[in-house]
């Protein structure tokens, strides 16, 4: 493996140290998207603003003198990709006089922080299937080094992106968490929150209005869904508390380099609602957790759409409910938001194959009536959006699992399906050859 070169120069305006007198200078740094996300990643470690800035300085501006101190005391704002940092100098430490400072206009940055990625490997819902995760990472040419998987193949710099739902159901909860968290913290991966991580946060958040209750009530049903996690990571353990705090730092969506990632559904309306509450890079607050668990609140609706996907009411369209596999009666159907052209009830509503009406007869075809409100979820963005959540069956179907601008990567790994990734190369069009599954599908014998 070729030795990596970790230093390079990025042309950013260095604080001009002019006079040799004491003073301060402020500089606006244009951050590459990767650096920006790297920076946000540091912010998500629950650092205070000062600590974060000092980390930032360490990462971005390692050639600054020790005594040129960033003076921001507030967190820099995520206004696009620009960041304003003010440096304070005294006469003896102005950068221009510093011996060995080769360039006033270039600062040395760690290369892995500034190089744009050649591509991203977007990985589906894991649900505690650590063996499949390791198998998939190895197929994608990630190698473990010092406890962290990192892309080590021939294709330049790549990063993994997890679409959420690391936990619940599977038998390897801790291994999965440790593996993914190590990658996210080392910057070899990013991750968005899934509904299972959000549920875990809510399950651990006391209800301020009812003593002894939690925002996600500890009912038999909710206990059951969360059982593998709480069995393997007892709620009184330090790991439990640390894990819940880490979940709060996960973003609800990601957008950079021409791609978008969300657990269940990209919705500009839902994103705008969440932006009122959560600043980029800041952890989810308890206030938001409480709001987002109040049925009917805009925050609840936004979280439902982003993490579980939008639904359409069958009864509101005078259609019968259906009985799902678990004999639960459903009056709402999932919306096929990935179908940009969907307009009618039949096109919009996803009725699972083989379900019946309440009296046991096969569910009839839905009418062709036009819907208006629900088409708001039709994805019409130009950037491809990658998502998980939908428990699809391998192999991917065109129009359903992938379109020109939507890519589902959840193929039910914990229910016997493969764990799936989509290898996105910068600028490439969506195409099913970019799907990679583990275990690998046996190809049919050809004649
Ligand atoms: Mn999910």
Residue 401 predicted with pLDDT over 60: yes
Give residue 193 CA to ligand 1 midpoint distance, Å: 9
**Start and end residues for every CATH 3.60.21.10 domain found in the chain:** 119-438
187-220 pLDDT, tens digit per residue, is: 899 999 999 999 999 999 999 999 999 999 999 9
Q: What burial letters (b/e) apply to 306-326, b meaning 16+ CB within 10 Å?
A: bbbbbbbebeebebebbbeee
Give residue 395 CA to ligand 1 midpoint distance, Å: 19
Give residue 419 CA to ligand 1 midpoint distance, Å: 14
Q: Which 8-state DSSP code applies to residue 112?
A: H
Higher-confidence position of 299 and 82: 299
Give residue 43 CA to ligand 1 midpoint distance, Å: 26
- Count of Cβ atoms closer than 10 Å to residue 293 Cβ: 21
26-74 pLDDT, tens digit per residue, is: 444 444 444 445 555 554 444 444 444 544 544 444 333 333 334 443 4
Give residue 264 CA to ligand 1 midpoint distance, Å: 7
Task: State the Cα–Cα distance between residues 19 and 401, nearest whole angstrom.
Answer: 61
Residues 6+ apart with CB under 8 A from 147: 182
Give residue 312 CA to ligand 1 midpoint distance, Å: 18
Give residue 106 CA to ligand 1 midpoint distance, Å: 44
Can you give 133-166 as a three-state secondary structure string? HHHHHHHCCEEEECCEEEECCCCCCEEEEECCCC
Give residue 221 CA to ligand 1 midpoint distance, Å: 16
Give residue 164 CA to ligand 1 midpoint distance, Å: 7
Task: State the Cα–Cα distance between residues 355 and 324, nearest whole angstrom.
Answer: 6
- Could you write out the DSSP letters of every residue in 299-345? HHHHHHHHHH--EEESGGGT---EE-TTS-EESEEEE-TT-TT--BH
Which class is domain 119-438?
alpha beta
148-188 pLDDT, tens digit per residue, is: 999 999 988 899 999 999 999 999 999 999 999 999 988 89
Predicted pLDDT at 187: 82
Residue 86 predicted with pLDDT over 80: no
- Count of Cβ atoms closer than 10 Å to residue 335 Cβ: 24
Task: Please calculate the CA angle 386-198-277 and round it to the nearest 5 degrees.
Answer: 90
Give residue 403 CA to ligand 1 midpoint distance, Å: 20
Residue 76 predicted with pLDDT over 90: no
Residue 379 predicted with pLDDT over 80: yes
Give residue 157 CA to ligand 1 midpoint distance, Å: 29
pTM value is 0.77
Give residue 75 CA to ligand 1 midpoint distance, Å: 32
Residue 15 predicted with pLDDT over 60: no
Output the average pLDDT for the chain: 80
Task: State the Cα–Cα distance between residues 40 and 76, nearest whole angstrom.
Answer: 10
Closest CA to 162 of 417, 391, 420, 402: 420
Predicted pLDDT at 117: 80
Give residue 19 CA to ligand 1 midpoint distance, Å: 58
Q: Residues for the chain: how many in total?
A: 447
Give residue 424 CA to ligand 1 midpoint distance, Å: 22
Give residue 125 CA to ligand 1 midpoint distance, Å: 7
Q: What burial letters (b/e) apply to 270-291, b meaning 16+ CB within 10 Å?
A: bbebbeebeebbbbbeeebbbb
Predicted pLDDT at 283: 85
Predicted pLDDT at 257: 83
The percentage of the chain sitting over the pLDDT mark of 70, rounded to a whole number, equals 72
Give residue 268 CA to ligand 1 midpoint distance, Å: 19
Give residue 389 CA to ligand 1 midpoint distance, Å: 4
For residue 214, what is the enclosing H or E element? Answer: none
CB under 5 Å of ion ligand 1: residues:
165, 194-195, 389
Tell me the average pLDDT across 403-419.
97
Give residue 202 CA to ligand 1 midpoint distance, Å: 15
Higher-confidence position of 22 and 423: 423
Q: How confident is the model at residue 256 (pLDDT cuts 50, 70, 90)?
A: confident
Residue 141 predicted with pLDDT over 80: yes
116-132 pLDDT, tens digit per residue, is: 688 999 999 999 999 99
User: Do residues 286 and 242 lie in contact, with contact meaning Cβ atoms separated by under 8 Å?
Assistant: no
Give residue 388 CA to ligand 1 midpoint distance, Å: 7
Cα torsion 125, 203, 41, 131 to 10°: value is -30
Backbone phi, psi, residue 86, to 5°: -110, 130
Residue 343 predicted with pLDDT over 60: yes
- Strand pairing category for 385-387 and 259-262: parallel
Give residue 17 CA to ligand 1 midpoint distance, Å: 52
């Amino acid at each position: 493996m070729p030795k990596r070169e970790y230093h390079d120069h990025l042309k950013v305006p260095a604080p001009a140290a002019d006079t040799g007198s004491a003073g301060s200078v402020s500089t606006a740094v244009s951050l590459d998207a990767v650096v920006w996300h790297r920076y946000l990643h540091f912010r998500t470690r629950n650092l205070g603003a000062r600590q974060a800035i000092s980390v930032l300085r360490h990462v971005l501006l390692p050639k600054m003198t020790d005594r040129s101190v960033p003076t921001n005391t507030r967190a820099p704002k995520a206004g696009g990709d620009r960041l304003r940092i003010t440096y304070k100098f005294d006469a003896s430490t102005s950068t221009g006089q510093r011996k060995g400072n080769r360039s006033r206009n270039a600062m040395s940055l760690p290369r892995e922080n500034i190089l744009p990625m050649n591509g991203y490997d977007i990985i589906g819902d894991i649900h505690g299937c650590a063996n499949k995760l390791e198998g998939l990472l190895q197929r994608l040419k990630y190698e473990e080094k010092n406890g962290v998987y990192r892309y080590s193949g021939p294709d330049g710099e790549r990063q993994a992106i997890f679409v959420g739902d690391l936990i619940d159901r599977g038998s390897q909860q801790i291994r999965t968490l440790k593996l993914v968290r190590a990658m996210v913290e080392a910057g070899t991966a990013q991750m968005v929150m899934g509904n299972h991580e959000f549920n875990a946060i809510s399950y651990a958040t006391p209800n301020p209005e009812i003593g002894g209750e939690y925002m996600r009530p500890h009912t038999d049903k909710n206990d059951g869904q969360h059982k593998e996690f709480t069995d393997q990571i007892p709620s009184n353990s330090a790991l439990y508390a640390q894990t819940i705090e880490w979940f709060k730092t996960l973003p609800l969506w990601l957008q950079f380099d021409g791609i978008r990632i969300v657990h269940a559904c990209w919705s500009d309306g839902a994103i705008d609602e969440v932006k009122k509450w959560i600043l980029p890079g800041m952890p989810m607050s308890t206030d938001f957790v409480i709001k987002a668990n109040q049925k009917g609140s805009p925050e609840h609706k936004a979280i439902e759409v982003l993490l579980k996907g939008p639904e359409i009411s069958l009864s509101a369209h005078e259609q019968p409910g259906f009985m799902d596999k678990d004999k639960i009666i459903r009056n709402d159907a999932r919306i096929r938001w990935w179908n940009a052209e969907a307009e009618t009830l039949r096109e919009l509503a996803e009725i699972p194959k083989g379900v019946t009406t309440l009296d046991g007869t096969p569910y009839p075809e839905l009418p062709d009536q036009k819907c208006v409100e629900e088409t708001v979820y039709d994805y019409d963005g130009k950037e491809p959006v990658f998502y998980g959540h939908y428990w699809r069956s391998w192999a991917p179907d065109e129009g359903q699992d992938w379109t020109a601008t939507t890519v589902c990567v959840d193929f039910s790994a914990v229910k016997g399906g493969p764990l799936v990734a989509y290898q996105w190369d910068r600028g490439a069009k969506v195409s099913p050859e970019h799907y990679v599954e583990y275990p690998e599908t046996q190809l049919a014998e050809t004649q």
